[in-house]
């Protein structure tokens, strides 16, 4: 069974850090773009970061670019989202997605049309 599972969410104070993990099972993540999305209550889902399976290039949303980074470790079939200097506005459910990257297909689009995890809650409050 092919699936993704996020972990690492939790509650932190403003200024804190968390690293989210996205573990793939049943398929080799090395061939898949990995992306992170988040959705806060009452808001649209938004793109956070994406890492290509082709060349490892990354894209990070402007709103978090100075604080978040994305990485992958194909050897252990995982992707990561490193988050620092967290703010209350970062409170959301964070989802990872992974999709095969066809030629010319942007990272986020590839991931969106692939597999999704169940989400992990991140809460930032004082």
DSSP code of residue 100: E
Confidence at 18, pLDDT banded by 50, 70, 90: very high
- Predicted confidence (pLDDT) per residue in 54-67, tens digit: 999 999 999 999 99
Residue 102: alpha-carbon gap to chain centroid? 20
- Determine the pLDDT at residue 65: 96
Residue 122: alpha-carbon gap to chain centroid? 12
Q: How distant, in Å, are the alpha carbons of 5, 20, 43, 48, 119 from that of 93?
A: 13, 11, 11, 12, 6
- Predicted confidence (pLDDT) per residue in 35-89, tens digit: 999 999 999 999 999 999 999 999 999 999 999 999 999 999 999 999 999 999 9
């Amino acid at each position: 069974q092919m699936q993704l599972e996020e972990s690492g969410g939790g509650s932190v104070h403003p200024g804190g850090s968390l690293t989210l993990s996205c573990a793939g099972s049943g398929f080799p993540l090395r061939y898949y773009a990995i992306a992170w999305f988040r959705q806060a209550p009452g808001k649209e889902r938004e793109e956070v970061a994406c890492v290509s399976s082709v060349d490892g290039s990354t894209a990070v949303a402007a709103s978090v670019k100075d604080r978040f980074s994305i990485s992958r470790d194909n050897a252990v079939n995982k992707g990561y989202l490193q988050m620092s200097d967290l703010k209350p506005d970062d409170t959301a459910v964070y989802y990872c997605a992974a999709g095969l990257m066809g030629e010319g297909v942007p990272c986020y689009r590839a991931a969106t049309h692939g597999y999704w995890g169940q989400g992990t809650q991140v809460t930032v409050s004082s």
